C-alpha cells in the first residue's frame, strides 16, 4: 500500500501515490475484512442493528445492509436517522443490540460514535469525508478514505453493496438498489449522465445480472409514465426555469413546436416521441433558456443515460432508477423513511400506493418553496459567490437539502455560486444545506470540510462532501457563523 497524505486535524487519509489498481485491491481487502467481522458476529447469533441516513442513498444503503445481515440468519434491526448528534447516538445506544452497523452516515462523526457507543462492536460503511479517529471496536469501511470520491464515484448505497457482496457473492441481486441510491444522490456525473468509477463497476454487476438496462434518451421525469408536458414540468435536475413546475407553459412549448400531446384520447409520453420530435423538443428548451438569458447548456443535461430496472413493473415510477430514487427521497424527507426502506426491500401494493401519495405531497412542498424563492425578493440574499436562502418559518428542516440541490442546479443566479439554504429546526437550532459547483470544487472549495471545521465553533456539527454538505448550529450564533462561512468560501475560491 502506498503513502498517505494526512490532511489537517481531520486525519483524512487520502491515498497519495497508489495506482488505481492498488487502491481497488486495498478497498477489496478492507471490504473482505469488514465482511468477515460481520459474518463472525452473525455466527454468534448477535443482534445486529443497522443505522442509516434518511435520504434516498441512505434508505437504499440501509435496505442493502439490513438485507445482507438478515440473510445471515441473525436478528436484524434497522433504525433510520436524519443526522448524528450526541442525542441520536444516545438513543441508538439505548437499543438492545450487540453489534451496530452504520450505513451512509457515521464517518464524519467518529468521535461522538465511539464516545457514545463504547461497549459495542461497530462497523461504519460510508462514503462521506472523515472526521475523528476510529478506536479498536470501530471497523471503518469508508470508500472515500480509500481513495474513491464519495460525491461522484461511489454512493453510500454502493459502499453498502460492496460490503454486502464481500459478505456473500450471492448478494449481487442487491446491485440494482445501489444504482437507485447513487442516482438519488445525483452521482450521474460522467459524460451524458453516465456513472463513473465504482458506481460504474456496480452498474456492470447489475447489467450482468439482468437487473438494470442502460439506454440513451431524454432524461425527463416520468419518461414512460407521464404525459409529455407533465414529464417536462416534473423535471428538476436540471431545474428548467419557467418550465419546472409549470405544466401550462410546457403545453404551450410543445404546441409551439408542433408536437402532438395526444393520440386519439391517450396522452403521449416521452417514449412515444420520434427521434426527430425529441431533437425539436430539446432545441426548443435550449431556445427557451437562452430567451431567459440563461445558459442553454443546462438543457443538454436532458440527453443521456437512463437506467431501467428490468424486474420492476413497466409503467411504474419504480421502473426508472432516477424516479425510484426521487420517490425514496420523498419518503425520507416527508417523515416516512420506513416506507422507503420497505419499498427497497420489495414491498409493493399498498406501500407503493402510499409512496406515490407521499411523492405527490413532496412535489407540492418543493413547488411551494421554489415559487416563494423565485417570487419573494426577501427570501434570499446574494453576496459575492454566495446565494443564501433564509427559509426560517417557511422551509421544513428536512427539506433544506432538496431545495438547495434544486436551486444549485437552476443557474437562476448566474455564474458559479455556493447555495446555502437556512432554516430553523423544531429543537430551536439553525440548519443549513450547502451546495457548490464543479467549477468551484476545481478551485479548491470543500464545503464538507468548511462545515466540519466551522460548525463546532458555533455550537453545532456538520460535514458531508466537497460539493454538498450540511450543518446544524446554535440559533444565536447563526449570523456570525454565516459571516465566517462567507469569508472562508471567498478566501478559498478567490
Ligand atoms: O448523505 P448523502 O451523501 O447521501 O447526501 C448527499 C446529498 O448531496 C444529496 O442530497 C445529494 O443530492 C447531494 N449531492 C449533490 N451533488 C453531488 C453529490 C451529492 O448535490 N455530486
Ligand atoms: O442535509 P443535506 O442534504 O444538506 O446534507 C448534505 C450532505 O451533508 C449529506 O451527505 C449529509 O450526510 C451531510 N451532512 C453532515 N452533517 C450534517 C448535515 C449534513 O454530514 N449535520
Ligand atoms: Zn450518501
What are the 10-residue block averages of pLDDT along the chain, 494 residues in total?
33 62 96 98 95 98 98 97 95 96 98 94 98 94 97 98 98 98 96 97 98 96 94 90 91 96 94 95 94 83 95 93 97 97 95 95 93 92 96 97 93 88 97 96 96 98 97 98 98 91
Q: Which residues neighbour 288 within 8 Å (Cβ) at sequence distance 6 or greater?
A: 240, 242, 243, 253
Reading the block at residue 77, the C-alpha cell is: 434491526
Contacts of 106-110 with C-beta under 8 Å, sequence gap 24+, read: 106/51, 107/131, 107/140, 107/142, 107/144, 107/145, 108/84, 108/132, 108/448, 108/452, 108/463, 108/464, 109/84, 109/461, 109/463, 110/134, 110/138, 110/140
C-alpha to C-alpha distance for 143 and 146, rounded to whole angstroms: 5
Classify domain 377-493 at the CATH topology level.
Diaminopimelate Epimerase; Chain A, domain 1 (3.10.310)
| 183 close to ligand 1 (CB < 6 Angstrom) | no
Ligand 1 within 6 A of CB of 467:
yes
CB-based contacts of 309: which residues, under 8 Å, 6+ apart? Answer: 176, 179, 180, 211, 212, 318, 319, 320, 321, 324
How high is the pLDDT of residue 8? 32
CA of 420 to the centre of ligand 2 (A): 12
Evaluate: CB of 156 within 6 angstroms of ligand 2. Answer: no
332 C-beta closer than 6 A to ligand 1: no
For ligand 1, atom 19, name the residue with the nearest CA.
185
Residue 320 near residue 307, CB atoms below 8 Å: yes
Sequence ranges of the domains in the chain = 20-208, 218-373, 377-493
Confidence at residue 12, expressed as pLDDT on a 0 to 100 scale: 47
Stated pTM of the model: 0.94
Instruction: Using most ligand atoms within 8 A of CB, pick from 401, 449, 455 the residue to mutate for ligand 2.
Output: 401
Is residue 388 a contact partner of residue 420, using CB atoms and an 8 Å limit? yes
216 pairs with which residues across the strands?
305
Atom of ligand 2 nearest to the CA of 460: 21
**Which mutation among 405, 421, 437, 463 tests ligand 1's pocket best, with the greatest number of atoms within 8 A of CB?**
405
Q: What is the pLDDT of residue 146?
A: 96
Which residue blocks in 86-155 are alpha helix, DSSP H?
86-93, 110-116
In this predicted structure, what is the pLDDT of residue 477? 97
Say what the pLDDT of residue 15 is. 53
pLDDT of residue 410: 83
Q: Whose CA is nearest to atom 11 of ligand 1?
A: 185
Cell for 396? 421544513
Q: Which atom of ligand 1 is nearest to the CA of 409?
A: 20
Listed in order, strand segments (DSSP E) in 62-137 are: 75-81, 99-103, 121-126
- Does 160 sit in the ligand 1 pocket, CB within 6 Å? no
Give CA–CA dist 232/286, Å, rounded. 13
> Is 147 exposed, middle or buried (CB count within 10 Å of its CB: 0-12, 13-18, 19+)?
buried
The answer for residues whose C-beta is within 8 angstroms of residue 85's C-beta and 6 or more apart is 112, 461, 472
Pick the CATH number of 20-208 from 3.40.50.1100, 3.90.1640.30, 3.90.1200.10, 2.40.110.10: 3.90.1640.30
The reply to whether ligand 2 has any atom less than 6 angstroms from the CB of 471 is: yes
451 Cβ inside 6 Å of ligand 1: no
Query: Rounded to an integer, what distance in angstroms lies between the CA atom of residue 420 and that of residue 464?
Result: 14
pLDDT for 236 equals 86
Q: Give the three-state DSSP class for 425.
A: coil
Atom from ligand 1 closest to the CA of residue 127: 3
DSSP designation for 239: B
For 219-378, strand residue ranges (E) read 262-263, 266-267, 303-309
Backbone angles phi, psi at 464, to 5 degrees: 135, -135
- Calculate how far, in angstroms, residue 49's C-alpha sits from the geometric centre of ligand 1: 25
Phi then psi for residue 305, to 5 deg, are -75, 135
Asked if the domains at 20-208 and 377-493 fall in one CATH topology, the answer is: no
Q: Which residues of 310-319 are buried (b: 16+ CB within 10 A; e: fewer)?
A: eebeeebbbb
Beta bridge partners of 125: 103, 141
Amino acid at each position: 500500500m502506498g503513502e498517505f497524505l494526512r490532511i489537517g486535524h481531520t486525519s483524512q487519509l487520502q491515498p497519495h501515490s497508489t495506482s488505481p489498481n492498488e487502491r481497488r485491491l486495498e478497498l477489496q481487502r478492507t471490504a473482505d475484512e469488514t465482511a468477515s467481522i460481520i459474518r463472525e458476529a452473525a455466527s454468534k447469533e448477535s443482534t445486529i442493528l443497522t443505522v442509516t441516513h434518511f435520504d434516498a442513498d441512505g434508505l437504499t444503503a440501509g435496505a442493502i445492509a439490513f438485507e445482507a445481515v438478515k440473510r445471515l440468519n441473525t436478528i436484524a434491526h434497522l433504525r433510520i436517522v436524519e443526522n448524528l448528534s450526541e442525542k441520536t447516538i444516545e438513543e441508538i445506544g439505548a437499543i438492545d443490540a450487540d453489534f451496530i452497523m452504520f450505513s451512509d452516515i457515521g464517518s464524519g462523526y467518529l468521535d461522538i460514535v465511539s464516545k457514545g457507543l463504547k461497549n459495542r462492536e461497530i462497523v461504519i460503511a460510508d462514503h462521506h469525508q472523515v472526521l475523528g479517529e476510529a478506536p479498536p471496536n470501530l471497523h471503518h469501511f469508508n470508500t472515500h478514505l480509500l481513495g474513491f470520491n464519495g460525491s461522484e464515484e461511489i454512493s453510500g448505497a454502493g459502499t453498502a453493496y460492496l460490503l454486502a457482496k464481500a459478505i456473500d457473492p450471492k448478494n449481487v441481486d442487491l446491485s440494482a438498489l445501489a444504482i437507485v441510491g447513487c442516482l438519488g444522490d445525483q452521482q450521474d456525473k460522467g459524460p451524458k449522465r453516465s456513472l463513473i468509477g465504482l458506481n460504474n463497476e456496480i452498474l456492470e454487476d447489475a447489467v450482468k445480472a439482468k437487473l438494470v438496462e442502460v439506454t440513451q434518451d431524454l432524461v425527463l421525469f416520468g419518461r414512460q409514465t407521464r404525459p409529455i408536458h407533465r414529464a417536462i414540468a416534473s423535471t428538476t435536475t436540471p431545474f428548467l426555469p419557467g418550465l419546472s413546475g409549470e405544466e401550462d407553459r410546457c403545453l404551450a412549448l410543445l404546441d409551439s413546436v408542433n408536437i402532438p400531446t395526444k393520440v386519439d384520447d391517450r396522452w403521449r409520453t416521452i417514449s412515444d416521441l420520434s427521434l426527430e420530435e425529441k431533437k425539436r423538443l430539446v432545441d426548443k428548451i435550449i431556445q427557451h433558456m437562452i430567451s431567459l438569458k440563461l445558459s442553454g447548456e443546462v438543457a443538454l443535461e436532458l440527453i443521456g443515460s437512463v437506467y431501467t430496472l428490468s424486474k420492476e413493473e413497466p409503467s411504474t415510477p419504480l421502473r426508472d432508477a432516477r424516479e425510484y430514487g426521487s420517490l425514496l427521497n420523498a419518503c425520507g424527507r416527508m417523515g416516512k423513511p420506513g416506507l422507503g426502506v420497505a419499498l427497497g426491500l420489495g414491498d409493493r401494493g399498498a406501500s407503493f400506493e402510499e409512496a406515490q401519495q407521499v411523492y405527490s405531497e413532496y412535489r407540492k412542498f418543493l413547488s411551494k418553496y421554489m415559487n416563494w424563492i423565485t417570487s419573494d425578493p426577501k427570501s434570499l440574499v446574494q453576496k459575492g459567490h454566495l446565494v443564501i436562502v433564509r427559509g426560517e418559518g417557511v422551509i421544513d428542516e428536512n427539506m433544506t437539502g432538496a431545495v438547495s440541490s434544486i436551486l444549485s442546479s437552476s443557474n437562476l443566479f448566474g455564474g458559479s455560486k455556493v447555495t446555502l439554504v437556512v432554516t430553523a429546526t423544531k429543537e430551536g437550532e439553525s440548519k443549513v444545506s450547502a451546495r457548490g459547483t464543479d467549477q468551484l470544487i476545481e478551485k479548491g472549495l470543500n464545503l464538507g470540510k468548511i462545515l466540519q471545521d466551522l460548525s463546532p465553533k458555533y455550537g453545532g456539527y456538520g460535514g458531508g462532501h466537497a460539493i454538498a454538505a450540511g450543518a446544524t448550529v446554535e440559533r444565536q450564533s447563526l449570523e456570525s457563523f454565516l459571516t465566517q462561512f462567507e469569508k472562508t468560501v471567498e478566501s478559498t475560491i478567490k
